[in-house]
Amino acid sequence: MLSLIVLLPLAACGLLLLVPNRQIKIFKITTLLVTAVHLVISTWAYVQFETGKKLAGVAQQSSYQFVEKLEWIRLDLGSFGQLSIDYFLGVDGVGISMILLSSIVMFIGAISSWNIDKKQKGYFLLYLLLSSSVPGCFVALDFFLFYLFFEFMLLPMYFLIGIWGGVRREYASIKFFIYTLVGSLFILVVMIALYNSTIDPTKTAVQLKLAPNTTQVSPQMVAEVQQKLAAQQIAPENQVHTFSMLHMMDQANYNTDSAIHAKSKSSWAGYSLRFWAFLALFIGFAIKLPIVPVHTWLPDAHVEAPTAISVVLAGILLKVGGYGLIRITYSIFPDMALSFAVITGFLGMFSIIYGALNALAMSDLKKMIAYSSVSHMGFVLIGLASFTAEGINGAVFQMFSHGILSALLFLLVGVLYDRTHDRMIENYRGLLTKMPYYGVFVMIAFFASLGLPGFSGFIGELFTILGGFASKQLPTWIVVVSTFGIVLGAAYFLWTLQRMFLGKFWLKNEPDWLPELKTLNIREWTMLASLSLIALVTGIFPHLIFNPMADTVSQLVAHFFQF
């Protein structure tokens, strides 16, 4: 099933290559149908996901559901041992919520893409490639496979911004590409170091002839291999090195002479190499999240990207950064993450305040929402830095909530921009009198985003703050200052609402713009109503998101403190 989620858009992309360019409707309908099927499968998987299941721990395959595992690449490297790469897919409570989010946003993005009017074949082919690579990051349990999906997102996003974007699209796309590529290189270096340090105990047991094949390897055999590895009794040529994230989470699978082993004395510039490996991963995913000061690509990318791509960028791509921090950085280096908690919390606090202040100063509506994303992603860092069940549950919920609400906000900007081709806040007054339904959706999105109780934004921020105050890792002042970001959020959303939608009606270019301020069409109603309803339902019934991930988060917290 997970393969279907990942490969269906890719298969559709291959078939559409054979369709002539003039068949515009085929590209649009196929993309819409594929993302709709994608949504149905993801929703079914979410419903079928077992809750209350007794988990063995985040490093155990039995803790993941819908697992698919096949040996993909196997190379004998002589004295360097064996190289093993698996096609290894699976989801836990955190991954399943991100899969559901990605399918919702990609479907909404496909509807929003309906009015693309140039080079439609290239656009929809690239959109399908993006629809394949994004969920791949959330289901891959092999680091090499994850990295392929992570890198694969760069290509379609670069062209989607660079070709179909605004006036400064080339600058924005290049900046996005370079920032993300630099982060990817940090991740690549650590991935190679982890591969060289980690073995697959099951395949190594077969290599040592303890069992004829992997299906007959018992837990006792695995323990025997790990004991021999710790005693340095396994020759290098018999070690089967792996990219499995699950094996990387277990220190028993590391060579004791590895530079990034938990007990290694290797250091550089006064810090252990394990610390530098953690920092490299943290920076790589922080760029994607993004957090201050590596956030500057985001406002430019959002402003220049077409509406549908802004929806996908804010709704899903930023969440890959947060997911990577949880699944890889924190799970593989929990000891370093704990020692880095205060700095992580401070960066989260700084992002919240800095992003909010910038949003308050923006005159471009789309840029204001982009900086609000920087601010809201800071709450994710606060939740992660707390190392509490409340905080991490809140961080994942915040990612889901922000994915829905940011998609809604950018769609609302797109509705206005499609009519007037202007996004400047000061050029509008009293829009509520001419576009009442549009104004209602704007108020829903603004109040939900600023944390009004009853909407999803309130739940995410509440639990991250609760986790921060309950944390033994974070100083109280960091959490207190972060809470002030909610006040700033209310300030920039309410000020924008007052200036653009309330009061006497006025337009800077009334003769040209007034005839274009038509009521919402069916396509716009569908997108805006659907996202608003999801934000409301998950705000009133947060257990819909919390229940599937509760057990996983409990295991994560236990894993973080095992060192």
| Nearest in space to 392 (alpha carbons), one of 235, 205, 180, 546 | 546
Q: What is the distance between the alpha carbons of residues 395 and 398, in angstroms, rounded to a whole number?
A: 5
The residues that bridge with 84 in the sheet, in sequence order, are 74, 242
Q: Exposed, middle or buried, 327 (CB in 10 Å: 0-12/13-18/19+)? A: buried
Mean pLDDT in order along the chain per 10 residues (563 residues): 93 91 90 95 94 81 92 88 92 94 96 89 94 94 95 91 90 92 94 94 91 89 92 90 94 90 86 93 93 91 91 92 95 94 95 96 94 95 95 96 96 94 93 93 95 94 95 94 94 95 91 89 95 96 94 92 79
Torsion angle, CA of 312/393/335/279, rounded to 10 degrees? Answer: 20
- What single DSSP character describes residue 198? B
3-state SS assignment for residue 74: strand
Place of tokens 């690509």: 297
Q: What is the distance between the alpha carbons of residues 123 and 186, in angstroms, rounded to a whole number?
A: 30
- Which residues have a Cβ under 8 Å from the Cβ of 519 and sit 6 or more positions away? 435, 437, 438
Omega of the bond leading into 236 within 30 degrees of 0 (cis): no
Q: What is the distance between the alpha carbons of residues 375 and 369, in angstroms, rounded to a whole number?
A: 10
Confidence (pLDDT) at 77:
87
Question: What type of residue is 127?
Answer: Y
Q: What is the distance between the alpha carbons of residues 466 and 306, in angstroms, rounded to a whole number?
A: 37
Q: Which residue ranges make up each domain of the chain?
A: 340-563
Query: DSSP readout, 489-552?
Result: HHHHHHHHHHHHHSSS-EETTHHHHGGG-PPP-HHHHHHHHHHHHHHHHHHH-THHHHHHHHHH
Question: What type of residue is 303?
Answer: V
| Nearest in space to 507 (alpha carbons), one of 428, 434, 452, 437 | 428
Place of tokens 């924190």: 330
| Nearest in space to 240 (alpha carbons), one of 192, 189, 202, 193 | 202
Strands 271-272 and 267-268 turn out to be antiparallel
pTM of the model: 0.95
Confidence (pLDDT) at 264:
84
Extract the runs of DSSP E, i.e. beta strands, from 20-104: 65-76, 82-91
Confidence (pLDDT) at 393:
96
- Distance set, CA 361 to CA 369, 375, 424, 496 (Å): 11, 14, 12, 11
Q: Is the alpha carbon torsion for 260, 262, 266, 268 positive or negative?
A: positive
Place of tokens 């396509």: 523
| Nearest in space to 395 (alpha carbons), one of 296, 500, 471 | 471
Q: Which residues of 518-554 are buried (b: 16+ CB within 10 A; e: fewer)?
A: eebeeebeebbebbbebbeebbeebeebbebbbbbbe
Q: What is the distance between the alpha carbons of residues 67 and 255, in angstroms, rounded to a whole number?
A: 27
Confidence (pLDDT) at 92:
93
3-state SS assignment for residue 432: helix
Q: What is the distance between the alpha carbons of residues 96 and 33, in angstroms, rounded to a whole number?
A: 22
Q: What is the distance between the alpha carbons of residues 99 and 139, in angstroms, rounded to a whole number?
A: 8
Are the C-beta atoms of 50 and 66 separated by less than 8 Å?
no
Are the C-beta atoms of 160 and 130 separated by less than 8 Å?
yes
Confidence (pLDDT) at 364:
93
| Nearest in space to 277 (alpha carbons), one of 262, 294, 299 | 262
Q: What is the distance between the alpha carbons of residues 493 and 72, in angstroms, rounded to a whole number?
A: 50
- CB atoms closer than 10 angstroms to residue 67: 15
The residues that bridge with 272 in the sheet, in sequence order, are 267
The residues that bridge with 254 in the sheet, in sequence order, are 198
Q: What is the distance between the alpha carbons of residues 94 and 173, in angstroms, rounded to a whole number?
A: 30
Query: DSSP readout, 300-338?
Result: HHHHHS-HHHHHHIIIIIHHHHHHHIIIIIIHH-HHHHH
Confidence (pLDDT) at 117:
84
Q: What is the distance between the alpha carbons of residues 204 and 199, in angstroms, rounded to a whole number?
A: 7
3-state SS assignment for residue 428: strand
Are the C-beta atoms of 309 and 397 separated by less than 8 Å?
no
Are the C-beta atoms of 184 and 151 separated by less than 8 Å?
yes
Q: What is the distance between the alpha carbons of residues 293 and 407, in angstroms, rounded to a whole number?
A: 24
Q: What is the distance between the alpha carbons of residues 231 and 488, in angstroms, rounded to a whole number?
A: 56
Q: What is the distance between the alpha carbons of residues 145 and 244, in angstroms, rounded to a whole number?
A: 9
3-state SS assignment for residue 241: strand
